[in-house]
Chain A
Amino acid sequence: MPACVTFEDLTLGYNSHPAVHHLNGVVQKGSLTAVVGANGSGKSTLMKGIVGILKPMSGHCSVAAGVKLAYLPQQSELDRSFPARVVDLVSLGLWPRRGLFGRYRKEDRLAVAEALSAVGLEGFEKRSLDTLSGGQLQRALFARVLVQDANLILLDEPFNAVDTKTVADLIELIKRWHGEERTVIVVVHDLDLVREHFPDALLLARGPVAWGEARKTLSSDNLLRARQFHEAWDEDAPWCNTGNSHKHDHANRQRGVA
């Protein structure tokens, strides 16, 4: 299967310290991959790297030509006090189609209505964002992703603070996208969820601990290695030889993290 996203010795980070360290590999077109790991292990950083919001310290992250990308960041980055209705939020997903100037057409409004219906938010069109529950807002954000009609979908912790019914509904949507051969990468904390629904998984602990078929990736050995990941930066870490722009955290290496 052709590559959708390619990592070549990719290092992303902050203040000269790597958050994702020397990642190599390919996310294949049409795959459904869960990115798992402890807090601070580089999952959200990797998503930002793929989107292009964060520039690599070294190496490359390339998205295949012609791929349309949709990114659902963590909820906390959205201003819920903004005077917008649910339909306004979902209509933002029309940007790739209509851009800055394009008028919304009848089919656009239909797409927004269908997306709201698909996530179970019919009747919520005119509700203001500050009146939505966490789960309802997450459904609305999924509706926006639907409207974007992208073939690479990145979801950063979409199941946080969401009830089990909503999680089940959102998982169905993700499976639908997978069935439509869209490439989907999801940051997830719930390992049982990953084992049950995700064919592939990438276990991160700053560097990749394991990557491949989900059940194998989440083996007890791999999880044990990932748990030994030390979140804190090592201020005295030597400069990395390969890139010379960031510091190695040798503490991790000593604990056997790849």
Chain B
Amino acid sequence: MSPHDWFIAPFAEFAFMQRALLGAMLLSVSACPVGVFLMLRRMSLTGDAMAHAILPGAAVGFLLYGLALVPMTLGGLFAGMVVALASGVVARVTVQKEDASLAAFYLISLSLGVLMVSLRGSSVDLLHVLFGSALALNDDALTLILLVAVVTFCSLCVFWRALVAECLDPLFLRSVSRLGSVAHFVFLSLVVINLVAGFQALGTLLSVGLMILPAAAARFWATRVTTMCATAVGIGVSASVSGLMLSYHASLPAGPAIILSAGVVYVLSLFVGSRGLLVSWFSATTHRTA
């Protein structure tokens, strides 16, 4: 098989592959920087929790309108926002920390979602909601992903300085500005909309993978937030391309193939990254004169 057959033909010949590639790349551009901030705020597992939290909203949309993009998206968005806001408010006005309040609300949300899907759908429908289908992205889904990418990019540009300050020294930000809480909720909203955008392609469970894995891998390469975001986007895009090719040539489901590709990059980065294990071992056994 020629390089053309391996790398170009799948995307040149099939419109569904082009859509899948465009969708996954747009998602990478949008979700990976959000993932970097999630990781830096030590909230990597929050993405996972939020992915579960959007399920009942998507399920209500599914129950009422079947497998339709708009109602499922709006439902997921609503459920995600409710869980994000409720857990944030509980954390700010009670003794409970945000990880615990988020866990409580997402578990309630998840159980409601599974219950609703089981009321009507078959296990195949549930599988679609949980794992998505990157190879079945229609124009509406692509438009939604593009919209989310634009909103995310603009929001990150506007709130960049506040997000960095909130991560690095939250008390300092509170002493000079009241934007800390605003930035936090804007950020949680970005997490939700990116997960909602991703669930058509990758499902609720795997969309968080494209958010966190490239970010976690980028941590082993970059030393600044901007370069970390750019590296994460690069890894996300590469994982999207290689995952889709893997899916095409080995007849594997596209979503897990993309996330597994990102997982491979993560493990490689863990070892050979400029801040990875090998360099750590080297720097632990050698030293300069000053």
Which residues of A come within 8 Å of B, CB atoms?
51, 53, 69-71, 73, 77-79, 82-85, 88-89, 92, 95-96, 99-101, 128, 144, 148
Contact = CB atoms under 8 A, between A and B. Distances in A.
Pick the 7 closest A-B CB pairs, nearest first: A71-B175, A73-B171, A77-B171, A82-B168, A95-B176, A51-B175, A78-B169
Contacts of A69: 175-176
B90 interface: no
B172 A84 contact: no
A96 B225 CA distance: 22
Given A95-B165, A100-B162, A101-B158, A53 B175 contact: yes
Contact of A84 (B158, B159, B164, B174): B164
Contact of A89 (B40, B168, B170, B177): B168
Q: Does more than half of chain B's interface fall in helix, strand or loop, or is it mixed?
A: helix
B168 A84 contact: yes
Contacts of B40: 82-83
B197 interface: no
21 contacts: A53-B175, A71-B175, A73-B169, A73-B175, A77-B170, A78-B168, A79-B169, A82-B40, A83-B224, A83-B228, A84-B164, A84-B168, A84-B224, A88-B164, A92-B172, A95-B165, A99-B177, A100-B159, A100-B179, A144-B172, A148-B176
A77 B159 contact: no
Contacts, number: 67
Given A77-B171, A83-B228, A89-B168, A96 B176 contact: yes
Contacts of B159: 100
Contact of B225 (A77, A78, A84, A95): A84
Contacts of B172: 71, 73, 78, 92, 144
A53 B223 contact: no
B167 interface: yes
B161 A53 contact: no
Interface string B223-237: 111001000000000
Contacts of B164: 84, 88
Nearest to B165: A92
A71 B223 CA distance: 27
Interface residues of B, number: 25
Contacts of B174: 51, 53
B170 to A, nearest CB: 7
Contact of B167 (A73, A79, A95, A101): A79
Contacts of A100: 158-159, 161-162, 177, 179
A95 B161 contact: yes
A148 B177 CA distance: 13
Given A53-B174, A53-B175, A83-B228, A128 B223 contact: yes
Interface in B130-181: 158-159, 161-162, 164-165, 167-177, 179
B222 interface: yes
Contacts of A82: 40, 167-168
A183 B223 CA distance: 37
Nearest to A148: B176
B169 A53 contact: no
Contacts of B219: 83
B175 A83 contact: no
Contacts of B223: 83, 85, 128
Interface in B79-126: none
Nearest to A69: B175
A131 to B, nearest CB: 10
A85 to B, nearest CB: 7
The listed residue with most A CB atoms (<10 A of its CB), out of B164, B165, B172, B228, is B172
B235 to A, nearest CB: 16
Contacts of A53: 171, 174-175
Given A53-B175, A95-B177, A100-B179, A85 B170 contact: no
A83 to B, nearest CB: 5
A85 B224 contact: yes
A84 B222 CA distance: 11
A84 B160 CA distance: 14
A78 to B, nearest CB: 5
A69 B161 CA distance: 19
Contacts of B158: 100-101
A161 B177 CA distance: 29
A92 B180 CA distance: 14
Nearest to A130: B223
Contacts of A78: 168-169, 172
